[in-house]
A and B are shown apart, each in its own frame.
Chain A
């Protein structure tokens, strides 16, 4: 049993999902995720999202760093997910740089805006730009650092279509859904 991602699957996936609900409901705020058994290259937070949400109907795109035997075997064995290309992916995992350009991912269609990709951005070693965010789930405007904020602004302009982002860092998760409006405070040159 020790090798299963969650020790008590039903209980721990419910707790993990509550963190995802909170993160998605309150964009720009950091929420905590618990540890689980996962491939070493994946963060706990990213692995939690995949294990909690993916099943045999989910197309998952793994960027180069994550497309390893260990990750693929773990994901397929535990969820039955389908490893897919960029275009069909429901869930996408990778570092920020490896996922650019974002144009290849599906943004939904006007009748079905939910048929869009969820991007999980691993590691935080991207060039940071100070931004101010506002929108649903944000009480008072929040200051956060984002990579290439112009891409998030572009994404928000597509609303109600667009991509939904989770930033994951070890045990932490932060969401920027398509509904979040972004203002650049100052660019770092």
Chain B
């Protein structure tokens, strides 16, 4: 047994460090290292049942569990927010099972688990960003057969994806895909960035941080190592554009961060606020300093 057994908190004693057993961790760890060696390739792994339903980040949680060390400072976000149900419950889960320190500050965190956003604050070297991924296969909605999509990746046969983007343009005049916008990793594999808004796509490119992806139900792990070329698919005459709602945050006034639209009154009045709660707090602090 580990240090945990010395802890008098009975809740902690009954779990192995960070919940998963050592054999499962070893299996996930092997998959993670191969994933880092083959950027953007989806490594199959035997995903475990976790004490939460699929769609709540069972893949992300397994990756985090395999990576966590006692010294880690953990941050968990759900759509950019630290205080939503999914983020709160996952954070508590690892406080209970791994006894790690937690934070809401992006710059203080050594490991960040995220659902559908990349923090606005620039990430640093050796920070680990763990994505929760619902559908890891970017070609799945175009080709339902796994045997076929696997072959398409093996042959770099991505014509179908370009046709899909082209049909967007033919129908709507522009590429309609606004989230889970497909990227090409290290010039080779077309990769699903998880359903982050396409506003976040450029942050994946050449990031100093380590990006790991876990899809629990679909049993896939993939990775984008630091300083890796990640290019959003586009056409010469229709270049990729990262976009967001053209407003300012009504709390901190920031115009460069990704905004959530909220309806604030019964007659449908709208307001926009930063999706990244930590960034919003930091900006508010900076503003009040300026006013002083």
Contacts and interface: CB of A to CB of B under 8 A. Distances in A.
Interface of A: 8-11, 13-15, 17-18, 20-22, 24-26, 52-55, 57-58, 110-111, 113-114, 116, 118, 135-139, 159-160, 164, 177-179
Contacts of A116: 34
A22 B33 contact: no
Interface in B1-55: 2-3, 16-18, 22-23, 25-27, 29-39, 41, 43
B3 A8 contact: yes
Contacts of A14: 17-18, 25, 67-70
Contact of B186 (A20, A25, A52, A136): A136
B33 A55 contact: no
B188 interface: yes
A26 B227 CA distance: 9
A85 to B, nearest CB: 20
Given A8-B2, A11-B2, A14-B18, A25 B36 contact: yes
Q: Which among B31, B37, B155, B228 has the highest number of chain A CB atoms within 10 Å?
A: B37
A56 to B, nearest CB: 9
Contacts of A9: 2, 22
Given A114-B31, A137-B227, A17 B37 contact: no
14 contacts: A14-B70, A17-B25, A18-B67, A21-B36, A21-B67, A24-B225, A55-B26, A114-B35, A136-B39, A136-B228, A137-B226, A178-B38, A179-B38, A179-B39
Contacts of A8: 2-3
Interface in B213-232: 225-229
A53 B186 contact: no
Given A15-B70, A116-B34, A138-B227, 4 more contacts: A13-B22, A111-B151, A136-B227, A160-B41
Contact of B66 (A17, A138, A159, A179): A17
Contacts of A178: 37-38
B26 A113 contact: no
B33 A21 contact: yes
Nearest to A53: B30
B125 to A, nearest CB: 8
A140 B131 CA distance: 26
A26 B39 CA distance: 13
Q: Which 9 A-B pairs have the closest CB atoms?
A: A110-B154, A177-B37, A114-B34, A10-B17, A136-B228, A137-B225, A8-B2, A136-B225, A24-B36
A152 B62 CA distance: 33
A20 B26 CA distance: 12
B249 interface: no
Contact of A53 (B17, B18, B29, B38): B29
A22 B226 CA distance: 10
Nearest to B147: A111
A17 to B, nearest CB: 5
Nearest to A51: B26
B180 interface: no
A176 B235 CA distance: 34
